[in-house]
Structure 1
């Protein structure tokens, strides 16, 4: 949460976008606004759902030469309007007070301070954000992976990098190797790219004459993480921001294992006919990277590993 007054992952080219799979699930299944039911694990990892990071942005000041790049109509309005699907913790989700929170929301507010603008996030259906950029919304900041298909429709400014990552119970008591999961109990969220990938890899295990994955698909990543920490599953498989957030909230019961796979850039969406706005946002993001504020925000959410050194407009996917 910000103290400031003022996912999908692209997946493979042969399959649907990772966040598209997740967004297709109804809000009730994703547990938005409520805690989803789970097994009788000794302790839920989302028990401290009220303890969201408090990121102080008050020291981030307007940079006049960057603010001057903002189109006149937006400067006159004094506000940057964002569309986001608020069901993807820790990127963007709904806090207990009903407001949008997450590292994307904090980064957006920091960008606004650099540009001398207030920021406002409106809840949206993920698939409907891009078509509304430039009309309903000035930008779309909702963990969008930069890919060729999206770049045909909109401009994207890179600010973060994410992929698939893994976590196990601290100490790895079951001696799990993420590269060798045949026969392992793999916990993940139902309807995500990870489930699709796990099914594919499990089939390969069978073809190779080995035991298939024991796929444990839960209604939420929180449930999946809880059951890994409780020993009911061997390994958590999730988007890297989700895994990192689960670890930081696990009170030391989970640890990362293996490398991040299929890493790709996330981007802030801007309309193609707004090159000045895209450049203003790029310059603001780069300022936050250079000043250390981007790392500070991401670290508060356990996701400093997603830092990139350079913000670009329409980078190669």
Structure 2
């Protein structure tokens, strides 16, 4: 069942994602050993060695003088979106966005610092409180009217099922199926609409299993309580990578869109410096290495752009 709504990806972040913070806890005591293994494995957070990324003088020379003099690039991020950006057991910001930012900083000869922020308040504060906003922002026309955005990743909606797909689930035919997702997300909103479409056609609606976190949704699909996990593609990929073979991806990524690093329109030189730094990470293989460590190399893009077409 395919939605006819305009293509976009998750916008809502009502509940923190606990996929890699050790909070992947079974909802029911009857969950299988497969889901328990998923819980244990999800505690493993990759440590990406960034020591091989060095300053590139011709790129660092593009950094505006005031930021170069300060020696630090300050980022605002909503730290509730594993595996993009979240809080690790040490209390520090971690995730593939944080590692990519550190790589960008290394190329530019800058230290990087991420400050926790409310998602909706990041963009208005870029250019004053923060130099950049790197928090899994989807590139769209509304944002491009307000800020510059440097593309670095691509994401959408994706699915996973229990390994072997024992219930013979197909993402394009979920009427009457048990769809596990996180409450308060775009996936929940979309599932409600698609479920109504099923009923309008005289079919059974979705049996929606809405959990407080995507981690709980993933756990219960691995354990057989849910038929299919529906989540943002980075979240699904990370869940599969950490599942020790108890989950497998299925279907194509839907509503795929670019993610972008937010820069103030008053700082075009900084946007260009970041674009060139991102392209350097892509061309030298560092970007793929970082994303692969987080199970998200499928989100690689070949070319970084300032203000790409949404």
The bucket for the TM-score relative to the shorter chain is over 0.9
Residues 12, 81 of structure 1: alpha-carbon distance in 2 compared, 3 angstrom cutoff: farther
**Partner of residue 111, structure 2:** 118
- CA deviation vs aligned residue, 1:80-128 (integer Å, no higher than 9, x gap): 0000000000000000000000000000000000000000000000000
List structure 1 segments (4+ residues) > 4 angstroms apart after TM superposition.
11-15, 29-34
Which residue does the alignment assign to 1:4?
none
Larger deviation, residues 294-303 vs 35-44: 35-44
TM-score, with length taken from structure 2: 0.93
| Distance change in 2, residues 1:36/1:171 (3 Å) | closer
Report the counterpart of residue 286 of structure 1 in structure 2: 279
SS at match of 2:39: coil
Distance 2:15 2:240 in 1: 26
Question: Is 1:39 aligned to residue 28 of structure 2?
Answer: yes
Is 1:53 equivalent to 2:46 in the alignment?
yes
Q: Distance in 1 between matches of 2:91 and 2:305?
A: 33
Correspondence for 1:143 among 133, 136, 139: 136
**Secondary structure of 1:47 counterpart:** helix
Question: For residue 217 of structure 1, what is the aligned residue in structure 2?
Answer: 210
Mapped partners of 1:316, 1:14: distance in 2: 14
Is 96-105 or 50-59 further displaced after alignment?
A: 50-59
- Structure 1: where are the runs of 5+ without partners? 1-10
- Equivalent in the alignment of 2:55: 62
CA contact (8 A) 1:50 1:96 kept: no
Q: Does 1:315 align with 2:292?
A: no
1:39 offset after TM fit, Å?
A: 1.9
Separation in structure 2 between the aligned mates of residue 109 and residue 297 of structure 1, nearest angstrom: 11
By relative contact order (CA 8 Å, sep 6+), the higher-ranking structure is: 2
Of residues 217, 236, 247 in structure 2, which corresponds to 1:243? 236
**Which ranges in structure 2 are unaligned for 5 or more consecutive residues?**
none
Distance 1:265 1:12, change over 3 A: farther
- 1:4-56 deviations in whole A, cap 9, x for unaligned? xxxxxxx96599x723x21xx255x9699672652222334333444111110
Query: CA–CA distance in 1 between the matches of 2:19 and 2:247?
Result: 22
Classify 1:272/1:300 alpha carbon distance in 2 versus 1 (closer, same or farther; 3 Å): same
Q: Is contact 2:178–2:207 with CA below 8 Å preserved after alignment? A: yes
TM-score (norm 1): 0.91
* 1:304 correspondence with 2:297: yes
Pair 224,175 (structure 1): closer, same or farther in 2 beyond 3 Å: same
After superposition, residues 247-286 of structure 1 pair within 5 angstroms as 247-286=240-279
User: Which residue of the other structure, out of 113, 128, 146, is the alignment partner of 2:121?
Assistant: 128
Residues 42 and 243 of structure 2 are in contact (CA less than 8 Å); yes or no, is this contact kept in structure 1? no
Counterpart in the other structure of 1:164: 157
Residue 192 of structure 1 is matched in structure 2 by: 185
Q: Deviations over 1:185-208 (max 9, x none)?
A: 000000000001111111000001
Measured in 2, the distance between the counterparts of 1:207 and 1:166 equals 24
Q: Residue 152 of structure 1 aligns with which residue? A: 145
Match of 1:205 in 2: 198
